[in-house]
Chain A
Amino acid sequence: MKVFIRIMIFSVLISMTYWGFSNYGIPQVIPEAPPVEEKISGSMTMDQYIALGGKIFNGKGTCTLCHNPVGGRAPLLVESGKDGAPVGARAADRIKDPRYKGKAKTAEEYIHESMVEPSTFVVAGFGKPGTNDTVSPMPNINKGSIGLNEAEIGAVISYLQKSAGVQVTVKLPTGAAPAAAEAPAEPQSAKTPEEAFGKHGCTTCHKIPGIEEAGDVGPDLTGLSARAGNRVKGLVAEQYVMQSILTPDAYTVKGFEPGTMPGDLGEKMTVKELDMIIKYLLEKKG
């Protein structure tokens, strides 16, 4: 029995060491939330459209996974490099390349073609190994895991042209306003739980411990940590709070009307914000 206990302690300690290293020995990077289709509103201006292109380029489009100065896996697009000027500026020259066999007639068409049919023209040195630069390793960005729609592709092209300092030739999608306006800020995670509550308007309806502004349309969240684990059978406190935010009508606290709390917070909140809010609510006792 003594041997058995020793072995068990030893095995548990080894596992705990690996767990500890994974939690405290390396940084906890919070991966991006699953991407959603961008909504192109009727009142969008060109500057907003370009800003949206930048957001897609750096996020959902996953362009920077390869088109970055570190890995050297793909030509640089928004900055100058050994491949020449940014793509917005060099695109017109690509069409004149003797190896080019595509259908594009303009720089804009060339960029579009290289996004949806990347193997049409492969920049020398960037083809799949063994294909003599005839097959690109890049996926068709209007299909598969990226799956951008035409409006999103247009936004990226406009961003690439703007970054290169050339004239933006992309037309705004139908319904968007042509007049220039202030570009929307890049959506970023709130830095603190308090900021997240404010950003998503939680305090308009709820009283939240530690925050002065409070509403009474929704339940008072003071002391939530004590009761959250007992609200719904089978859900621990954390799961209950997560469910209440993401699918608020799954359970409605007695005395409150279902359908009052917005059901699209899951689409608006970043994973980091959701995590911060849950932790805050469950840690604040008073």
Chain B
Amino acid sequence: MGFLRKGLFKGVSFRFTSLTACLFLLFFASTLILPVAYNGSILLNSALATEAPAPAPAGEHASPVLSKAEGKAEEGKKEGEEGFTYQPAPKLKVGDYPIVKGFNSRIAVWIVAQLHLWFGAFVLAVPIFVLVIEGVGMATKDERYDHMAHEFIKVSMTAFSLTASLGGLLTIMFVSFYPDFFKYMAAIFGKTMIIYAILFFGESFCLYIYYYGWDRMNKGFSKWVHLTMGLMLNVFGMTLMVLSNVWASFMMAPSGVDDAGVFTGNIWEAMRGPLWNPINLHRFIANIAFGGSIVGAYAAYKFLSAKTNEEKAHYDWMGYTANFIAIFGFLPLPFAGYWLMKEVYGYSQQMGITAMGGAFAWLFIIQAVLIGALFLGANYYLWCGMGRIKGSERYTPAIKYLIVVIVGCFLVWFTPHTLIMTAKEVTQVGGTHHPVLGSLGVMSAKNTAVNILIVSTFLSFMLYRRSNKIATASWTSTGNAIQVALFAAGAINIVTLGVYGYFIPANIRIGLSIPQVMTTLTVIIVSSLIDAFMYKGAKSTGPIEWGKMGPRSQYALFLLAVSFTWLMGLMGYVRSALRQHWHVYTVLRDNSLDAFTPTLGYAAGIITIAVYIFIALVIFAFWIANFSAKKHVEASH
């Protein structure tokens, strides 16, 4: 607690012991948690209310927060009072949408919301892996981890302010461009919005203490206090994320309202919509992958600009770690995506089919291209990385086979089911499906391809990890044989399930993705365990020569960062566009001039513009980060 004695509490006569430090922490936590708990109790009260306010018949009354289209406020009745009634969703007309000259409402909200999400994802993800890396540094007593974690969080500091600014801008845009929609949402979620703001303060407190206290709170017990701050930062961040996901998932699959959009008064019912948790999980994992890729790009830039070998070694190691984090998050992402889509189908088959087989079917071909680029980029980086490890020559012949498998899987995923052709072409091909390749366009083939792709990428990583090690365990041959059998059996099982999918109805077929995923996870977990035991105390063929990487490998990291950003923009678009001409699906219709669904080319244009703005802002954030004093780079990588 030296830093507190010398700094904050200089001259104070009481002794600072571990006990007082704990009390301080407890007090600090209380100041943050109490308001949340208080608000939580309000929520809980309404959630547990035995008698929710009766819904009003459409068009009779209007709450103080609802639109002019629906009537006037009921005199003297406030929310929570007896007799108060919530109102149906307003039926809007073109004239209810203010036109602000110089702005297209939809494009403006689209771009700002997307930028807010990108930065939000980044600042939520970085503290997660920073905390883990700091913890690893503490456990291994290796200061390099601590320095790297510090540098990661430094990069995210400006992004934090940008996230908040963009969030404010987005709110203003909602109020300005879509006032009736915002009123309707605020009427239901007003309390959660206030809690959100309070949590944001909590997150800010923790972030600033965590970042600015890094050097002072780096020894003994104070390091634990620092780590606790990091944990609380993440708790606040995660709570913020799941709270804002409530609003997004409500818009897609409203709950806690009746058919006319009348709020039943039970906020918990409105929060726990069918898509809330799938979106929570999907965003949590995607954030980690995205955050890893962005700091990877930062490390790559620093690597390419490095003047000394020490700097190169440091940023090479940083880039490798960031890439590891990105891939660690990326591998389970398709599974979270399947769960989300399964729940979308469960909520509304119509919405599910619109996504996968209707207006947006071709969007998933663009997604396949992006994911293919991500897998190829990540694997390429790993293969390049093997060049800096003595002993990796043993495994390099396997790379060409991995390339064939990965490219093959990518092509299967990329294959569309039906083709848009002229009448002449249809006659030549004999139908809208290609006679052979058309069968690769269905989910059975694509699920199979993505699982094999993931297993192959994991194999790449395993080979990389083994590159400078020679196992000395007595059962090494048996272990290797088991692993080969495991990979072979896994691949056969995944392919067999995929082929079986062609012979069963569609609604049962979708269930096959679960055993396929379980097979993939089993292969990954079991072979990781075998490797961990088999390579315990392994002989080293030499150290990893950090910094000995060609520049091309660093461009792979940029490819990952840009592709992840673009992919997030694309998937954010489709998640939102699935509502089609509804602000809140089935409840509050969008009757603005922009209610139509644009073509994918148009959407791609907006996404690209948003990506460019994001890149510019990220460069600004990195530039600011470099203003602070440079850390001494460790020479002993």
Binding site for B on A (CB under 8 A): 3-4, 6-8, 10-12, 14-16, 18-19, 21-23, 25-35, 62, 65-66, 71-73, 125-126, 128-129, 137-139, 143-147, 232-235, 239, 242-243, 246-247, 250, 266, 271
Known: A12-B612, A28-B599, A138-B349. 14 other contacts (CB 8 A): A3-B305, A14-B558, A15-B566, A18-B370, A19-B604, A29-B359, A29-B420, A31-B359, A129-B507, A129-B511, A143-B586, A145-B585, A235-B102, A243-B593
- Contact between A14 and B559 (Cβ–Cβ < 8 Å)? yes
- Contact between B611 and A247 (Cβ–Cβ < 8 Å)? no
Contacting residues, chain A, for B350 (C-beta < 8 A) = 62, 65-66, 139, 145-146
Is B493's beta carbon under 8 Å from chain A? no
Nearest Cβ in chain B — how far from A249, in angstroms?
11
Is B600's beta carbon under 8 Å from chain A? yes
Stretch at the interface among B276-284, B314-322, B361-369, B387-395: B361-369
Nearest Cβ in chain B — how far from A111, in angstroms?
19
Given contacts A11-B615, A72-B505, A242-B593, contact A16 B608 (CB under 8 A): yes
- Contact between A3 and B301 (Cβ–Cβ < 8 Å)? yes
Is B553's beta carbon under 8 Å from chain A? no
How many angstroms between the C-alpha atoms of A213 and B287 in the bound complex? 58
Contacting residues, chain B, for A19 (C-beta < 8 A) = 604-605, 607-608
How many angstroms between the C-alpha atoms of A143 and B366 in the bound complex? 33
- Contact between A239 and B104 (Cβ–Cβ < 8 Å)? yes
Q: Can you show 29 pairs from A to B with CB atoms below 8 A apart?
A: A7-B304, A11-B562, A14-B563, A15-B566, A15-B612, A22-B601, A22-B604, A23-B601, A29-B362, A29-B420, A31-B598, A32-B597, A34-B581, A34-B596, A62-B350, A66-B349, A66-B350, A71-B353, A139-B350, A145-B348, A145-B580, A145-B585, A147-B586, A233-B101, A243-B593, A246-B593, A247-B94, A266-B94, A266-B593
Chain A residue nearest in CB terms to B566:
A18
- Contact between A15 and B562 (Cβ–Cβ < 8 Å)? yes
How many angstroms between the C-alpha atoms of A4 and B301 in the bound complex? 8
Nearest Cβ in chain A — how far from B575, in angstroms?
16
Contacting residues, chain B, for A32 (C-beta < 8 A) = 359, 597
Contacting residues, chain A, for B370 (C-beta < 8 A) = 18
Interface of A is mostly: loop
How many angstroms between the C-alpha atoms of A104 and B94 in the bound complex? 41
- Contact between A30 and B353 (Cβ–Cβ < 8 Å)? no
Is B595's beta carbon under 8 Å from chain A? yes
Nearest Cβ in chain B — how far from A67, in angstroms?
11
Instruction: Find residues 558-588 in chain B having any chain A CB closer than 8 Å to their own CB.
Output: 558-559, 561-563, 566, 580-582, 585-586
Contacting residues, chain B, for A128 (C-beta < 8 A) = 346
Contacting residues, chain A, for B604 (C-beta < 8 A) = 18-19, 22-23
Given contacts A19-B604, A126-B507, contact A26 B596 (CB under 8 A): no
How many angstroms between the C-alpha atoms of A19 and B603 in the bound complex? 9
- Contact between B600 and A29 (Cβ–Cβ < 8 Å)? yes
How many angstroms between the C-alpha atoms of A21 and B570 in the bound complex? 13
How many angstroms between the C-alpha atoms of A117 and B603 in the bound complex? 37
How many angstroms between the C-alpha atoms of A165 and B475 in the bound complex? 74
- Contact between A271 and B596 (Cβ–Cβ < 8 Å)? yes
Nearest Cβ in chain B — how far from A253, in angstroms?
18
Chain B residue nearest in CB terms to A18:
B566
Other-chain contact of A129, B508, B562, B608 (Cβ < 8 Å): B508
Instruction: Find residues 315-337 in chain B having any chain A CB closer than 8 Å to their own CB.
Output: none
How many angstroms between the C-alpha atoms of A94 and B357 in the bound complex? 29
Contacting residues, chain B, for A242 (C-beta < 8 A) = 593
Is B28's beta carbon under 8 Å from chain A? no
Nearest Cβ in chain A — how far from B551, in angstroms?
9
Contacting residues, chain A, for B607 (C-beta < 8 A) = 19
Is B358's beta carbon under 8 Å from chain A? yes
Q: What are the nearest 3 A-B pairs in CB distance? A: A234-B102, A234-B101, A22-B604
How many angstroms between the C-alpha atoms of A128 and B342 in the bound complex? 12
Is B555's beta carbon under 8 Å from chain A? yes
Scan B600-633; emit 1 where CB is below 8 A from any A CB, else 0: 1101110110011001000000000000000000
Chain A residue nearest in CB terms to B591:
A34
Nearest Cβ in chain A — how far from B593, in angstroms?
6
Other-chain contact of B506, A33, A71, A139 (Cβ < 8 Å): A71
How many angstroms between the C-alpha atoms of A227 and B229 in the bound complex? 60
- Contact between A22 and B366 (Cβ–Cβ < 8 Å)? yes
- Contact between A125 and B505 (Cβ–Cβ < 8 Å)? yes
How many angstroms between the C-alpha atoms of A17 and B373 in the bound complex? 11
Is B354's beta carbon under 8 Å from chain A? yes
- Contact between A14 and B562 (Cβ–Cβ < 8 Å)? yes
How many angstroms between the C-alpha atoms of A247 and B592 in the bound complex? 11
Contacting residues, chain B, for A62 (C-beta < 8 A) = 350, 354
- Contact between A28 and B601 (Cβ–Cβ < 8 Å)? yes
Other-chain contact of B611, A15, A23, A125, A138 (Cβ < 8 Å): A15
Contacting residues, chain A, for B104 (C-beta < 8 A) = 239
Contacting residues, chain A, for B301 (C-beta < 8 A) = 3-4, 7
Contacting residues, chain B, for A66 (C-beta < 8 A) = 349-350, 353
Chain B residue nearest in CB terms to A140:
B259
How many angstroms between the C-alpha atoms of A250 and B103 in the bound complex? 15
Other-chain contact of B599, A21, A29, A232 (Cβ < 8 Å): A29
Name the residue among B100, B301, B353, B555 with the largest chain A CB count within 10 angstroms.
B353
- Contact between B101 and A235 (Cβ–Cβ < 8 Å)? yes
Contacting residues, chain A, for B359 (C-beta < 8 A) = 29, 31-32
How many angstroms between the C-alpha atoms of A2 and B103 in the bound complex? 36
Nearest Cβ in chain B — how far from A271, in angstroms?
5
- Contact between B304 and A3 (Cβ–Cβ < 8 Å)? yes
Nearest Cβ in chain B — how far from A231, in angstroms?
12
Contacting residues, chain B, for A234 (C-beta < 8 A) = 100-103
- Contact between A137 and B597 (Cβ–Cβ < 8 Å)? no
- Contact between A26 and B507 (Cβ–Cβ < 8 Å)? no
Other-chain contact of A26, B304, B366, B590 (Cβ < 8 Å): B366
Contacting residues, chain A, for B597 (C-beta < 8 A) = 31-32
Contacting residues, chain B, for A72 (C-beta < 8 A) = 505-506
Nearest Cβ in chain B — how far from A242, in angstroms?
7
How many angstroms between the C-alpha atoms of A14 and B561 in the bound complex? 10
Nearest Cβ in chain B — how far from A21, in angstroms?
6
Contacting residues, chain A, for B586 (C-beta < 8 A) = 143-145, 147
Contacting residues, chain A, for B593 (C-beta < 8 A) = 242-243, 246-247, 266
Scan B215-257; emit 1 where CB is below 8 A from any A CB, else 0: 0000000000000000000000000000000000000000000
Given contacts A28-B601, A73-B506, A234-B103, contact A18 B259 (CB under 8 A): no
Name the residue among B259, B511, B598, B604 with the largest chain A CB count within 10 angstroms.
B604
Nearest Cβ in chain B — how far from A117, in angstroms?
14
Contacting residues, chain B, for A129 (C-beta < 8 A) = 507-508, 511
- Contact between A233 and B102 (Cβ–Cβ < 8 Å)? yes
- Contact between A65 and B366 (Cβ–Cβ < 8 Å)? no
How many angstroms between the C-alpha atoms of A19 and B365 in the bound complex? 13
Other-chain contact of B600, A6, A12, A22, A250 (Cβ < 8 Å): A22
Given contacts A26-B600, A29-B600, A66-B349, contact A71 B357 (CB under 8 A): yes
Contacting residues, chain B, for A25 (C-beta < 8 A) = 369
Nearest Cβ in chain A — how far from B441, in angstroms?
11
How many angstroms between the C-alpha atoms of A28 and B94 in the bound complex? 27
- Contact between B596 and A232 (Cβ–Cβ < 8 Å)? no
Contacting residues, chain B, for A34 (C-beta < 8 A) = 580-581, 590, 595-596
Contacting residues, chain B, for A10 (C-beta < 8 A) = 555, 558
How many angstroms between the C-alpha atoms of A23 and B597 in the bound complex? 16
- Contact between B357 and A65 (Cβ–Cβ < 8 Å)? yes
